[in-house]
Structure 1
Amino acid sequence: MAVSRLSQLSMHLRDANDGSTSRQPPGLVKSMYKVNEQPLGTVRKIRIIIIGAGASGLNVVRTLRNELTNYEYVVYEKNPKVGGTWYENRYPGCKCDIPSHNYQFSWKPNHEWSSFFSSAEEIEAYLCRLCEDENMQDHLKTEHEVVGAHWNETSGRWNVTIKDLGTGLMFEDHCDFLLDAGGILKRPLKSHWKWPEIPGLRDFSGSLIHSANWAEEFNWTGKRVAVIGNGSSGVQIVPAIQKGAKQLVHFIREPTWIVPPRIQTLSMSKAGDILEEIEFDEEERFTSAQVERFKTDPKLYRTFVKAIEEQVNSNFFIVLKDSDGHKTATEAVTQYMRAALGYDETLIKALIPSFPLSCRRLTPGIGYLESLSQSNVRVVADSIAHITSSGLVTKSGEIIEVDAIICATGFDVSFCPRFPIIGRSGNLQDIWTKALPRSYMSCAVPSLPNYFMFLGPNAPIGHGSVFTIAELLAKYIVNIIRKCQTECIKAIVPSQAAVDELYEHTQAFMPRTAWAGSCTSWFKNGRETGPVTALHPGSRIHFFHMLERFRGEDWEYVHYTRHNRFSYLGNGLSTKELDKSDSTWYLDGPG
């Protein structure tokens, strides 16, 4: 028996070495694979469509220019000008609640911000100037609205339908990668504003205005004005029009946390030392001498910007609802609000919440609380039953006649796209209507290959500047696009399993935060309770750290050579040795 087995082994060895292909694995015999006759590092030509010319859209243009080669792109913007939300929002008092010098791009510092918190007009001017300075106009098509996008699996491209708002004509475009920079909150065309669902709203015969579609010709001086809503828009509108109005009636659905002026809180933080060196007046406007110092003293400027940024980032710690920081902050804000309301118990009951601090986005409403105590202002916490031609009728039956109604009632907060985006599993509008929105790192969606968005579900937008978030996301997304260009990847999409597990982690984390508290909040898609769909499960720094490494294992790929992912290795040569650059870069030390 032993001899027989030895003989069989000898035969197998002989057959294996006789050069015959009959004993080789069948896959090797039948393979039609051929070496791709191009060097490793070859960059495939691609086309990119960017939707929106707000902050995220303009920034990603700059990132493409810095990080990619062999590409073409176009930006479609529905408005007549760039600026996004800062072009559209024009209501009185509209300004950013993040310090000006931190609400800008790191690559485009503005030393000439006029005040500590910038107005909408000034931020829009910054974005317009940025667009001009970077010569972005040639690739920008304003008054062009994207109305549909459809993924073509065969070509590995998006077919995109665009409407020229100037002519009304529709046309088709295509791209390898579709970048949606339409913003956090969906802002449709002016004819589609979402008004509050109050019976009789259209029966009103006076001026009816939405904060998101402000009528610039509207003059409130000497008029009886109702302001519905005490979100961030309402909190800014009320003090801005209070002095001129004959009577201002402020309708609020529920209390809201109003935090002290940021300069006041920052002065008591580690940023206090640098703030003592900064000159501004009582209205928080920088002096001309201070602006000049920012221009001529780069060390001071950088120290100031970094110190403020560090303190803004630290706001995350008061979000952790069981922490000492949250308790201390709640007590401090409560005392501030009581004092600002003049210790009026009726106003205190109506305005100071019982839900956790930070359950809704904190609003630094300068002058808001103080304006509510003025003789021409009345706060109404009773709900509105219906509206007549001359005014509003409360649930208790009171008739309040006014000349104008301002609806500061916010935006669509569902994350549902404005237009159909049809991928492998159907229309994203339908998917996110039937189920809660889920995304990968807030920028990609299962079943939508080569589609990336900015500030999608569960981005770190609860505190800090979206400009910085947009910068980091753009670098992350463009790095993925470059990988596809150089590794023969036709389509890339996050796996459903990865997105589901990230969602599971997110929702397991959220009960630790005030964001999950019982309050009506756009963090929870306008619901009082339920999953937090808008915020990242951690701090901004946590999010930025997470984006430092691309987790390829979370993604699914379609390669141009379907049966060999390594076709991009090419003909054995590298572009690094053929491009006449430093082919011995590996001998250089770190940095």
Structure 2
Amino acid sequence: MDRPIRQERHMRIACVGAGASGLCFAYKLQRSFEDFTLTLFERNDAVGGVWFANRYPGCACDYEAHSYTFSWDQKADWSSVYASAEEVQRYFEGFARKHGLLDYCKFGTTVKKAQWDDASGHWGLRLQANSGAEWEDEFDLLINASGLLSSPKWPEIQGLDQFEGLKLHSAAWPIPPPDLSGQRVGLIGNGSSGQQLLEALQPIASHLTVFIRQPTWVFGPFGAPPRCYTADELQDFADSPETLLAKRKHFENRVNSYFGICLRDNPKQAALRRHLTQGIREQLAGRKYDDLDGLEEAFIPQYAPGCRRPTPGNRYIESLTADNVTLVMGNITHGTAEGVVDHQGKTHHLDAIVCATGFDTSHRPSFSVQGRSGQDLRELWSLEEPNAYLALAVPDFPNYFVFYGPNNPFASGPFLATVGQSTPRFPFRLVSNISTTFLAYHADYMLRWCDRWQTENIHSFSPKQEAVNEFKDYADTVFQKTVWTDSCRSWYKTAPSQPTKVSLWPGSGLHYLETIASLRGDDFDVRYKGNRWEWLGNGFSQVELDEECDLSYYIRTEDDGEFLSSKKRRRALARGSHVDRESLHIIG
């Protein structure tokens, strides 16, 4: 014990993925820690994750670009209100270069297996380069930042593999991109990617057949109408960072006013439904179909708004009712060499099939993760409903964290927002997207545990199963009051056949941030190497041995220390300039 209290030990961290989550973790680790080794294993050849992989026609972020940044790293020169996938990827590339994060990245590398060794207290990783070479390495902590939206999910259609034409997926668009001009194209799916593809393909395809299992609520632009910024606006953003900050905060304040509308009995939920229904009917008026009732059935959902991820549908109805588009409601029964057969037995002859069917959102890792008992997390979450501790950690998987695990806050707060004054047609707006704010709070939480591991003689830590079980019981009770358990097909749910089983956070986004703002050590199984008090060292403090520290730092003219109650800490942190909440059209 020949060392002072909290003497740091070297910390080896493996992070899987160099998208927004991995880069955020790397930045925050580098900013606050020393004496560590970090490797970001990235299967692609560049950073950006989903924004590097997704390159289908029309791919763009449907969250206002100025708010789709790390909260402390605003970007003044976004070219338009909603940035293209390529521009978003360039933002993360620039962020990585600015902070030297590329030095931590090992590109073209896939993690095949991670196995916990309880005797040594380490994770053993089996790695594979894109060239095929394999090797193994060892780490103290493992961070899974591969993302919830990383593995394409192909539709489960019998015989689809028999189709002899071009078969494409929105999340795996080929390079170079195929030319679909003049082709007979079948488009499967009507989520955000499906709507963007619809609007991009409709003008160029000779005929577009769109297959939809259920209608979706059409919201229009999530924020301001889509447009490019003028040169004068870009100059104003660059010259006045405080004005740009105020613009971002105004948007985010509206975002954070949303959660109440997710509650079934909230009168604003009923008001939203009426307004959206009226807006859809106005758009349908005068369209090519004669049967307005049948048309409404195809465009106006029976489930509550917010049950599934909202989509903007900027030209959704206009595109779907174009002369060269056929809308098919219902399941596809099977595929053939020439096309597909719908639920009514009609064969649709196609040159290309485009699947906008999203990602595998089951939360099962894309690689084998074997914990203390030897059980693979992929198998565990296949056999039973995925459950994690605050969307961050898993019982019996020590020194392991995951970004956006089960019960993440994807559908509340900054993921769903009300914006009230874009256009008179829709007085409500909903936004849904991964917020870099939550990535930062996730990283902060993980690094608080990293700090404990580095400065104490901790062998391992993992959440207790009883804590996860009790949280699940609490969450299930709250979910019954929300629209998320309504009868819709949504990746918010753990399985389409179980509409009441929801894998979301049971509250608002700000509610989640307050929950993970500090560690609850009593929820964790913490094991030590030797005597748990060995980290106290030889009796010397770090202050005594650090020449840059003041030996009487506690002597001062006033008490400027941190408040000790949650209420006063919260107000010190969040009580900024007064916000007129009525002007934000807060719902709930």
Q: State the TM bucket, normalised to the shorter chain.
A: 0.7 to 0.9
What are the Cα deviations for residues 418-462 of structure 1, in whole angstroms up to 9, with x where unaligned?
A: 111111131111111111111111110000000011011111111
Whether the aligned pair in 1 keeps the contact of 2:50 and 2:150 (CA below 8 Å) is no
Q: C-alpha distance in 2, partners of 1:138/1:42?
A: 26
**Which secondary structure state, in structure 1, belongs to the residue aligned with residue 205 of structure 2?**
coil
Amino acid in structure 1 at the alignment position of 2:438: I
Aligned length: 531
The structure whose Rg is larger is 1
Q: Does residue 582 in structure 1 map to residue 550 in structure 2? A: yes
**TM-score, L = length of structure 1:** 0.87
Q: C-alpha distance in 1, partners of 2:393/2:7?
A: 26
Shift of 1:77: 0.2
Q: Report the counterpart of residue 42 of structure 1 in structure 2.
A: 7
Q: Report the counterpart of residue 237 of structure 1 in structure 2.
A: 197
Relative to 1, partners in 2 of residues 1:558 and 1:531: Cα closer, same or farther, differing over 3 Å?
A: farther
**Which secondary structure state, in structure 2, belongs to the residue aligned with residue 524 of structure 1?**
coil
**Which secondary structure state, in structure 2, belongs to the residue aligned with residue 523 of structure 1?**
coil
Q: Report the counterpart of residue 433 of structure 1 in structure 2.
A: 382
Q: C-alpha distance in 2, partners of 1:472/1:548?
A: 8
Whether the aligned pair in 2 keeps the contact of 1:185 and 1:415 (CA below 8 Å) is no
Q: C-alpha distance in 1, partners of 2:226/2:505?
A: 34
Q: Report the counterpart of residue 263 of structure 2 in structure 1.
A: 320
Shift of 1:347: 2.6
Q: C-alpha distance in 2, partners of 1:533/1:146?
A: 29
Which among 451, 454, 469 is matched to residue 500 of structure 1? Answer: 469
When structure 1 is superposed on structure 2, of 234-243 and 310-319 the one drifting more is 310-319
Q: C-alpha distance in 2, partners of 1:138/1:225?
A: 43
Q: C-alpha distance in 2, partners of 1:159/1:432?
A: 21
Whether the aligned pair in 1 keeps the contact of 2:395 and 2:462 (CA below 8 Å) is yes
Shift of 1:126: 0.6
Matching of residues 522-561 of structure 1 within 5 Å: 522-561=491-530
Q: Report the counterpart of residue 352 of structure 1 in structure 2.
A: 300
When structure 1 is superposed on structure 2, of 543-552 and 217-226 the one drifting more is 217-226
Which among 73, 78, 90 is matched to residue 43 of structure 2? Answer: 78
Q: Report the counterpart of residue 293 of structure 1 in structure 2.
A: 236
Shift of 1:528: 4.6
**Which secondary structure state, in structure 2, belongs to the residue aligned with residue 586 of structure 1?**
coil
Amino acid in structure 1 at the alignment position of 2:368: P
Relative to 1, partners in 2 of residues 1:169 and 1:531: Cα closer, same or farther, differing over 3 Å?
A: farther
Matching of residues 359-398 of structure 1 within 5 Å: 359-398=307-346
Whether the aligned pair in 2 keeps the contact of 1:393 and 1:399 (CA below 8 Å) is yes
Q: Report the counterpart of residue 276 of structure 1 in structure 2.
A: none
Shift of 1:526: 4.3
Amino acid in structure 1 at the alignment position of 2:121: G
When structure 1 is superposed on structure 2, of 536-545 and 380-389 the one drifting more is 380-389
Q: C-alpha distance in 1, partners of 2:332/2:223?
A: 36
Which among 401, 410, 417 is matched to residue 461 of structure 1? Answer: 410
Shift of 1:199: 2.2
Q: Does residue 476 in structure 1 map to residue 445 in structure 2? A: yes
**Which secondary structure state, in structure 2, belongs to the residue aligned with residue 541 of structure 1?**
helix
Q: Report the counterpart of residue 161 of structure 2 in structure 1.
A: 202
What are the Cα deviations for residues 518-567 of structure 1, in whole angstroms up to 9, with x where unaligned?
A: 11111113415345443111111000011112111111111112xx3222
Q: Does residue 410 in structure 1 map to residue 410 in structure 2? A: no
Matching of residues 99-498 of structure 1 within 5 Å: 99-165=64-130, 167-187=131-151, 193-215=152-174, 216-263=176-223, 283-342=226-285, 344-425=292-373, 426-463=375-412, 464=414, 465-498=434-467
Shift of 1:317: 2.1
When structure 1 is superposed on structure 2, of 581-590 and 296-305 the one drifting more is 581-590
Whether the aligned pair in 2 keeps the contact of 1:458 and 1:536 (CA below 8 Å) is yes
Amino acid in structure 2 at the alignment position of 1:430: E
Whether the aligned pair in 1 keeps the contact of 2:495 and 2:501 (CA below 8 Å) is no
Whether the aligned pair in 1 keeps the contact of 2:460 and 2:528 (CA below 8 Å) is yes
RMSD of aligned Cα (Å): 1.5
**Which secondary structure state, in structure 2, belongs to the residue aligned with residue 293 of structure 1?**
helix
Shift of 1:200: 2.2
Shift of 1:71: 1.0
Q: C-alpha distance in 2, partners of 1:284/1:459?
A: 32
**Which secondary structure state, in structure 1, belongs to the residue aligned with residue 362 of structure 2?**
coil
**TM-score, L = length of structure 2:** 0.88
Shift of 1:85: 0.4
**Which secondary structure state, in structure 2, belongs to the residue aligned with residue 359 of structure 1?**
coil
User: Quick one: percent identity of the two aligned structures?
Assistant: 38
**Which secondary structure state, in structure 2, belongs to the residue aligned with residue 262 of structure 1?**
coil
Q: C-alpha distance in 1, partners of 2:112/2:238?
A: 44
Structure 2: state its 5+ residue gaps: 287-291, 415-433, 562-588
Amino acid in structure 2 at the alignment position of 1:485: Q
Whether the aligned pair in 2 keeps the contact of 1:413 and 1:526 (CA below 8 Å) is no
Shift of 1:382: 3.5
Whether the aligned pair in 2 keeps the contact of 1:149 and 1:160 (CA below 8 Å) is yes
Q: C-alpha distance in 2, partners of 1:427/1:283?
A: 45
Whether the aligned pair in 1 keeps the contact of 2:369 and 2:377 (CA below 8 Å) is yes
Amino acid in structure 1 at the alignment position of 2:494: N
What are the Cα deviations for residues 329-369 of structure 1, in whole angstroms up to 9, with x where unaligned?
A: 11111112222233643332112110111110111121112
What are the Cα deviations for residues 201-220 of structure 1, in whole angstroms up to 9, with x where unaligned?
A: 12222211111111343112
Q: C-alpha distance in 2, partners of 1:132/1:428?
A: 34
Q: C-alpha distance in 2, partners of 1:512/1:228?
A: 32
Whether the aligned pair in 2 keeps the contact of 1:294 and 1:300 (CA below 8 Å) is yes
Q: Does residue 66 in structure 1 map to residue 31 in structure 2? A: yes
Q: C-alpha distance in 1, partners of 2:494/2:173?
A: 24
**Which secondary structure state, in structure 2, belongs to the residue aligned with residue 501 of structure 1?**
helix
Whether the aligned pair in 2 keeps the contact of 1:116 and 1:285 (CA below 8 Å) is yes
When structure 1 is superposed on structure 2, of 519-528 and 359-368 the one drifting more is 519-528
Relative to 1, partners in 2 of residues 1:459 and 1:46: Cα closer, same or farther, differing over 3 Å?
A: same
Q: C-alpha distance in 2, partners of 1:347/1:355?
A: 17
Amino acid in structure 1 at the alignment position of 2:443: A
Q: C-alpha distance in 2, partners of 1:402/1:315?
A: 42
Whether the aligned pair in 1 keeps the contact of 2:339 and 2:347 (CA below 8 Å) is yes
Q: Report the counterpart of residue 32 of structure 1 in structure 2.
A: none
Q: C-alpha distance in 2, partners of 1:415/1:399?
A: 35
Q: Report the counterpart of residue 566 of structure 2 in structure 1.
A: none
Amino acid in structure 1 at the alignment position of 2:171: A
Q: C-alpha distance in 2, partners of 1:171/1:341?
A: 59
When structure 1 is superposed on structure 2, of 129-138 and 176-185 the one drifting more is 129-138
What are the Cα deviations for residues 371-426 of structure 1, in whole angstroms up to 9, with x where unaligned?
A: 11211111111322222222222221222212111111121121111111111131
**Which secondary structure state, in structure 2, belongs to the residue aligned with residue 179 of structure 1?**
strand
**Which secondary structure state, in structure 1, belongs to the residue aligned with residue 311 of structure 2?**
coil
Whether the aligned pair in 1 keeps the contact of 2:479 and 2:502 (CA below 8 Å) is no
Shift of 1:186: 4.2
When structure 1 is superposed on structure 2, of 151-160 and 110-119 the one drifting more is 110-119
**Which secondary structure state, in structure 2, belongs to the residue aligned with residue 558 of structure 1?**
strand
Q: C-alpha distance in 2, partners of 1:504/1:451?
A: 23
Whether the aligned pair in 1 keeps the contact of 2:188 and 2:194 (CA below 8 Å) is yes
